[in-house]
Amino acid sequence: MQIRTVTSLVIQIGTLLGLLCLTLMNVEIRWSKADITLAYAIPALGVVGLVCLIQNRSAWRWTWIDYLAGGWMVFWLLRVWVGGEFPCATSFLQMCWMCLLYVVMRLVFTGCSYTLLYIVTGLILLFGAIESLWGFLQIISETSRHSMFALTGNFLNPGPYSAYPMMGAVAGMGLLNGPSRPPLNGGENGTGNEHRDKYFRGIVEVLTLVCLMVLPATWSRAAWVGVGVVALWICRERYWKWRWFVWGGLLALAIVVFFVKQGSAEGRLIIWTAALTSWCENPVLGVGYGGFDHACAAGIAALCQQDSTMFSGFQHAGVAEYSYNALLQILVEQGIVGASLCVTLVVVVLCIAYRKCPPLLFVLVSMLLFSFFSYPLEMQPYRIMLTMIVAVITSVHSDNEKQQKPQWWKPALVGLLSIGIWFPLKSETERRKESDEGYRLISSLKDPCFLKDYRELLSDERDNSSFLFDMSKLLQSNGRYKDSNAILQLGIQVSRDPMFYVLMGNNYKSMGFPERADSAYVKAFQILPNRMYPLYQRMLLQQELGNTDLMQILARQIVEMKPKIKSTATDEMQEKARLLLQ
């Protein structure tokens, strides 16, 4: 092997390790240290990419994945700028960074060998085991990042955390049982030194077992779906004659698991049904990027207006911050056009992965299945991993393609464009992260003198529902009801929390507009029909207005309601309703 090839391989592996180390940094709701680190690392990765191109003497070439990804991103940018229905600066910048990362990764990995695909798979297994051990240590030392859960890793709850050990376990299963073996010894099929293969298999088995052992502690059904589907595919020849018994048993197990965590499953069904209801109003282009939460709230309200008892059986639904289905979110926000581009890109990537590296295909399939029931692509670690995997798969060249004459003007042009985009992205990201830090400093302070600070941060925090809620409450507490409602109107664009409408109703009530207050309370109840508080506020309003009949109807409804979480507050509201009924 030539020296320049070894040098390029070392650089590429170092790049992979650096990116995967970023995925182990603490994940935050909006901006984290990993985001800023990635922003500073991308120019360096661009330089590394040019060095790898010179070392490999490989020709830059466009692939179908590049065309599809580029077309989708162009449509996405046009949809954001032309429509602009909803504030979405944070998610917009995060997606821009992933686009830029993909471009520089294409420079780094252009002309890489098939061996690198198996190296990527092995590193995913290794880091999945590290994340799993992290979870075990949190259980032992009780150092989880969430007070209600025993393990979270570097995430905020075990839901998204479970995807990491799942991907590690699937990668190990693929390396152990895939249709092709990694070329460990220079042979095409991995033949050669049997002792090396034996040690390799032993290491993979141990790391895979570590990843599988932590999954039950996460209580993640989506993770088990990803592992189970891949395991069934790998072992299909061994159980095929018993397939009906196997599938029947799995169906029975799925039903049991559904009822074990029935509340979260019902909540997902409500979210998906409501979002599709809003999507039907604009199926081609969608409701607009960043509008999923608003669409979900509007969909539930529309369904409740049609049939107020439709969601009476779903007592466990709550205020969710995610779609729990990546494809559905793309369909709702970007319409059939964006979803078609996304599905086409995914199919092409999976087909190429199946041909080049089946174990890496299993990793992609598990992530895809997980994204149908959870929100991994909302987390930066999984966005980095997905971008990295797609870039490596796209960049693997055959020997004939490596022998093509390099055209240096193409990567040079790409590098210049990337640098031109990097500067404004970096400054905007740093500014918005500083705004988030500024908000955290004043979020618990209720003195009216901090309204000036809120106003200064408002332009950067229009997509932050927590900021908008706190600012509206501070304005309300100082008697500025109109200004509070103006901020609440911004909040309902980015959140499906009914408390925005409840506060709006309280403001209208204080201003002397009972009809508008009643409409706001009704809207709040329609968004989340199992919430008692909007009905309670509406009952008190009708008591003040002297509408005894409607007040008693609402009081009876409150008394008969089964709260999602029973507390002293719900007990007091129901006791007040009983007194009014008497």
What radius of gyration do the chain's Cα atoms show? 27
pLDDT at 362 over 90: yes
Closest CA to 15 of 137, 110, 146: 110
* Cα gap 155→152, rounded to integer Å: 5
Residue type for 460, please? D
Return the SS3 of 378.
Answer: helix
Average pLDDT over residues 156-161: 90
What pLDDT does residue 186 have? 43
What pLDDT does residue 406 have? 54
Residue type for 5, please? T
Phi, psi of 537 (to 5 degrees): -65, -40
What pLDDT does residue 84 have? 67
- Rounded alpha-carbon distances, angstroms, from residue 482 to 276, 470, 521, 563: 33, 15, 17, 32
- Rounded alpha-carbon distances, angstroms, from residue 350 to 359, 424, 494: 11, 34, 33
What is the tens place of the pLDDT at every residue in 192-220?
466 667 888 889 999 999 999 999 888 88
pLDDT at 29 over 50: yes
Sign of CA dihedral 348, 350, 356, 360: positive
Q: Do 220 and 374 form a contact (C-beta atoms < 8 A)?
A: yes
What is the tens place of the pLDDT at every residue in 299-333?
888 877 776 555 554 555 566 678 888 999 999 99
What pLDDT does residue 475 have? 93
What is the tens place of the pLDDT at every residue in 417-471?
777 788 888 989 999 999 999 999 888 788 888 898 999 999 899 999 999 999 9
Please, which pLDDT band fits residue 560 given cuts at 50, 70 and 90? confident
Torsion of CA 414, 415, 416, 417, to 10 degrees: 50
Q: Do 417 and 132 form a contact (C-beta atoms < 8 A)?
A: no
563 by Cβ neighbours in 10 Å (0-12 / 13-18 / 19+) ranks as middle
Per-residue tokens: 130: 């590290």
Query: Which H, E and C letters describe 544-562, residue by residue?
Result: HHCCHHHHHHHHHHHHHCC
Cβ atoms within 10 Å of 454's Cβ, excluding its own: 21
What pLDDT does residue 302 have? 81
What pLDDT does residue 256 have? 73
Per-residue tokens: 106: 């294409």
What is the tens place of the pLDDT at every residue in 174-196?
998 854 444 444 444 444 466 66
pLDDT at 133 over 90: yes
Q: Do 286 and 333 form a contact (C-beta atoms < 8 A)?
A: yes
Instruction: Return the higher-pLDDT residue of 46 and 360.
Output: 360
